């Protein structure tokens, strides 16, 4: 990160905390962001009209049970329910007050809650299987940014501790067990607490003891001396000040300005089973080529910046979908759809759709259908060669047709030998190998089954490579084969 130095405490490494350093830099390394947008009370009418399930965009559930922890940042859900904003969109939010984040996690996983106000780090922890039993999760929307803090006890303050540097000096000078609390092992409060301690040279996994305590119990435990500090959301930091037992050493926006905090989370199973009740918004991004220029506004003037290795720009696409495909499949389908905007140009200029017209509608239709058939099969041929991306005719035809073929017949079989004439022969070899694999797949099934539809099998195989899913037609193939 810019303007930061690395502080190492054995195996735990964290950048220091400069006053104006952005914590968003490390997020720029991610390839795609699966964001959200959620319970129908949060979705605008334009978005609702964009996604339909089973012929209607009406929510499948009339009541949605949503859990929350009594914190300031649960306000948006509470207000939506109390003010009946939810009824406008055909649902009723049934709120369920929970005692701990572990309880929220368990109830989401077993289906007692449809969705919940939850730590965004908790969702990722469960999804990865490091914050409980592994279960695929979805983030429906971000509920708030900032609003958390690190509170230290007044006993530490009486010994001269007013910030992280002073705490480090005390920990080194006065050896004892120092105890700090967070709310969930993979939650945001653990992240902020560990980062803050490490940035001042205190190893949170070795130099001090860390425990997990539910948010409403933080102040009570500090009052009886069970902890020296904690990280939690409001209003509990303010409550410690009001009760004269602690003080705020740092706010989380000091650690990472405008950081994400609480989200509306649910299981992936729920969002896929009730797509209209829980919308998915997929945000895709890819790096902009370095030969492009960037502009930025400085006061009222525009400054032109030529990109270099230190500056990486991205282009974004935001999709609203109710499909059950995984993220990679959705991204691929979108890319194909965007590429198909060039389809009309290809059909006219590359395949000659507009090259034969007469006043005889039947002959025009025959010509158009022939061109469309050739175009479609060439497109499938190219996807067999390169499943991860669509190839345009202007580049794919010279690449895949620039070669010399020789057919050899032996023992009732015909083998086709190809010699590439294109300059990109190494790349071409990979494409031809993919085509060979697709045809070999059909041949294998044809040898095993007495009756088969080879085109059906071939297309299913290509689609499985595009979507990263096994072909769904093997049962049908078996039926066709056995009659």
For residue range 218-254, what is the model confidence (pLDDT) as tens digits?
999 999 999 999 999 999 999 999 999 999 999 999 9
Inside any domain, residue 353: no
Inside any domain, residue 22: no
pLDDT band at 41 (very low <50, low <70, confident <90, very high): very low
Where on the phi/psi map is residue 340: left (φ > 0), alpha (ψ -120 to 50), or beta? Answer: alpha
Backbone angles phi and psi of 117, in degrees to 5: -70, 115
Alpha-carbon span 332 to 350, nearest angstrom: 24
Considering only 137-146, 182-191, 307-316, which range has the smallest mean pLDDT?
307-316
Scored b (16 or more CB within 10 A) or e, 206-225 reads ebbebeebbbebbbebbeee
Going by C-beta distance under 8 Å and a sequence separation of 6 or more, which residues neighbour residue 52? 276, 322
Give the burial class of 382: count Cβ atoms within 10 A of its Cβ; 0-12 exposed, 13-18 middle, 19 or more buried: buried
- Looking at 255, 273, 290, the residue that finishes a domain is 255
pLDDT by residue (tens digit) across 357-383?
677 778 777 877 888 888 888 888 889
pLDDT band at 52 (very low <50, low <70, confident <90, very high): very low
pLDDT band at 305 (very low <50, low <70, confident <90, very high): low
Residue with tokens 């989401």: 108
Q: Are residues 204 and 242 located together in one domain of the fold?
A: yes
Alpha-carbon span 356 to 372, nearest angstrom: 13
Higher-pLDDT residue of 418 and 146 is 146
Inside any domain, residue 98: yes
Alpha-carbon span 337 to 429, nearest angstrom: 27
Q: Where are the beta strands (DSSP E) in 98-198?
A: 115-119, 137-142, 148-153, 179-182
Please say whether the beta carbons of 41 and 115 come within 8 A: no
pLDDT by residue (tens digit) across 432-475?
889 888 888 888 776 666 666 778 888 888 888 887 777 654 54
Q: Are residues 405 and 472 located together in one domain of the fold?
A: yes
Least Cα distance to 452 among 423, 431, 427, 473 occurs for 473
Residue with tokens 């948010």: 215
How many beta carbons lie within 10 A of that of residue 196, not counting itself? Answer: 24
Residue with tokens 């279960």: 135
Inside any domain, residue 6: no
Mean pLDDT, range 425-436, rounded to an integer: 85
pLDDT by residue (tens digit) across 55-114?
456 778 888 899 999 998 888 888 888 888 888 777 888 999 998 999 999 999 999 999
- Looking at 222, 255, 288, the residue that finishes a domain is 255
Please say whether the beta carbons of 187 and 69 come within 8 A: no
Query: Structural domain tally of the chain?
Result: 3
Q: Are residues 241 and 265 located together in one domain of the fold?
A: no
Q: Are residues 86 and 53 located together in one domain of the fold?
A: yes
Inside any domain, residue 184: yes
pTM, two decimal places: 0.51
- Angle, CA of 390, 374 and 455, to the nearest 5°: 80
Q: Are residues 229 and 164 located together in one domain of the fold?
A: yes
Instruction: Retrieve residue 211's tokens.
Output: 């425990």
Q: Are residues 478 and 368 located together in one domain of the fold?
A: yes
Q: Are residues 215 and 305 located together in one domain of the fold?
A: no
Inside any domain, residue 169: yes
Q: Are residues 240 and 274 located together in one domain of the fold?
A: no
The answer on pLDDT for 345 being more than 70 is: no
Higher-pLDDT residue of 274 and 342 is 274
The answer on pLDDT for 316 being more than 50 is: yes
Range of the domain at 213: 146-255
Provide the Cα torsion 454, 458, 461, 466; round to 10°: -160
pLDDT by residue (tens digit) across 129-162?
987 889 999 888 888 888 899 999 999 999 999 9
Backbone angles phi and psi of 52, in degrees to 5: -120, 145
Mean pLDDT, range 324-331, rounded to an integer: 67
Provide the Cα torsion 295, 297, 298, 301; round to 10°: 90
- Where would I find the H helices in 32-74? 45-50
Least Cα distance to 262 among 77, 76, 118 occurs for 118
Higher-pLDDT residue of 136 and 2 is 136
- Residue 326 is predicted with a pLDDT of 64
Residue with tokens 């958390």: 148
Q: Are residues 372 and 478 located together in one domain of the fold?
A: yes
Q: Are residues 242 and 264 located together in one domain of the fold?
A: no
Question: H or E element: which one contains 405?
Answer: strand 403-410
Inside any domain, residue 4: no
Q: What is the CATH number of the domain that holds 216?
A: 3.40.190.10
- Residue 421 is predicted with a pLDDT of 78
- Residue 443 is predicted with a pLDDT of 80
- Looking at 324, 339, 369, the residue that finishes a domain is 324
Give the burial class of 151: count Cβ atoms within 10 A of its Cβ; 0-12 exposed, 13-18 middle, 19 or more buried: buried
Q: Are residues 405 and 367 located together in one domain of the fold?
A: yes
Alpha-carbon span 342 to 359, nearest angstrom: 27
Please say whether the beta carbons of 232 and 183 come within 8 A: yes
Least Cα distance to 116 among 73, 62, 171 occurs for 73
Please say whether the beta carbons of 77 and 143 come within 8 A: yes
Q: Are residues 163 and 180 located together in one domain of the fold?
A: yes
Residue with tokens 């501790």: 161
pLDDT band at 324 (very low <50, low <70, confident <90, very high): low
pLDDT band at 6 (very low <50, low <70, confident <90, very high): very low
Q: Where are the beta strands (DSSP E) in 225-360?
A: 229-233, 246-251, 262-267, 280-287, 293-298, 301-306, 314-321
Inside any domain, residue 338: no
């Amino acid at each position: 990160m810019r303007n930061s130095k690395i502080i190492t405490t054995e195996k735990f490494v964290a950048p220091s905390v400069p006053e104006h350093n952005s914590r968003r830099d490390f997020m720029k390394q991610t390839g795609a962001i699966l964001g959200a947008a959620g319970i129908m009370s949060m979705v605008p009418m334009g978005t609702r009209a964009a996604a339909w399930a089973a012929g209607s965009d009406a929510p499948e559930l009339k009541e949605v049970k949503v859990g929350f922890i009594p914190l300031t940042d649960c306000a948006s859900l509470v207000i939506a329910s109390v003010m009946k904003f939810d009824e406008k969109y055909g649902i009723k939010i049934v709120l369920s007050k929970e005692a701990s984040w572990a309880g929220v996690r368990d109830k989401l996983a077993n289906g007692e809650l449809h969705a919940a106000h939850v730590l965004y780090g908790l969702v990722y922890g469960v999804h990865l299987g490091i914050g409980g039993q592994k279960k695929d999760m979805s983030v429906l929307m971000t509920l708030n940014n900032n609003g958390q803090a690190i509170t230290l006890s007044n006993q530490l303050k009486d010994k001269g501790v007013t910030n992280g540097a002073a705490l480090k000096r005390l920990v080194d000078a006065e050896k004892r067990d120092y105890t700090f609390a967070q709310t969930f092992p993979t939650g945001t409060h653990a992240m902020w607490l560990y980062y803050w301690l490490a940035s001042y040279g205190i190893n949170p996994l070795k130099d001090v003891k860390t425990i997990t305590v539910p948010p409403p119990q933080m102040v009570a435990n500090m009052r009886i001396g069970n902890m020296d500090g904690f990280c939690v959301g409001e209003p509990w930091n303010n409550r410690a000040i009001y009760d004269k037992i602690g003080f705020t050493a740092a706010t989380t926006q000091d650690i990472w300005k405008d950081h994400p905090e609480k989200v509306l989370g649910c299981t992936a199973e729920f969002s896929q089973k009730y797509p209209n009740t829980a919308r998915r918004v997929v945000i895709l991004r890819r790096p902009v080529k370095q030969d492009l220029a960037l502009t930025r506004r400085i006061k009222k003037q525009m400054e032109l910046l030529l990109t270099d290795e230190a500056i990486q720009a991205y282009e974004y696409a935001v999709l609203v979908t109710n499909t059950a495909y995984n993220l990679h499949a959705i991204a691929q389908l979108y890319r194909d759809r965007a590429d198909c905007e060039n389809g009309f140009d290809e059909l006219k200029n590359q395949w000659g759709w507009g090259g034969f017209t007469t006043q005889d509608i039947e002959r025009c239709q025959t010509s158009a259908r022939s061109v469309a058939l050739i175009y479609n099969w060439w497109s499938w041929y190219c996807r067999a060669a390169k499943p991860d991306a669509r190839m345009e005719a202007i580049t794919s035809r010279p690449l895949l047709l620039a070669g010399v073929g020789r057919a050899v017949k032996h023992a009732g079989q015909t083998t086709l030998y190809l010699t590439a004439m294109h300059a990109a022969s190494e790349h071409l070899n990979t494409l031809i190998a993919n085509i060979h694999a697709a045809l070999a797949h059909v041949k294998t099934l044809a040898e095993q089954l007495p009756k088969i539809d080879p085109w059906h099998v071939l297309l299913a195989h290509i689609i499985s490579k595009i979507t990263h899913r096994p072909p769904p037609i093997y049962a049908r193939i078996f039926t066709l084969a056995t009659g």
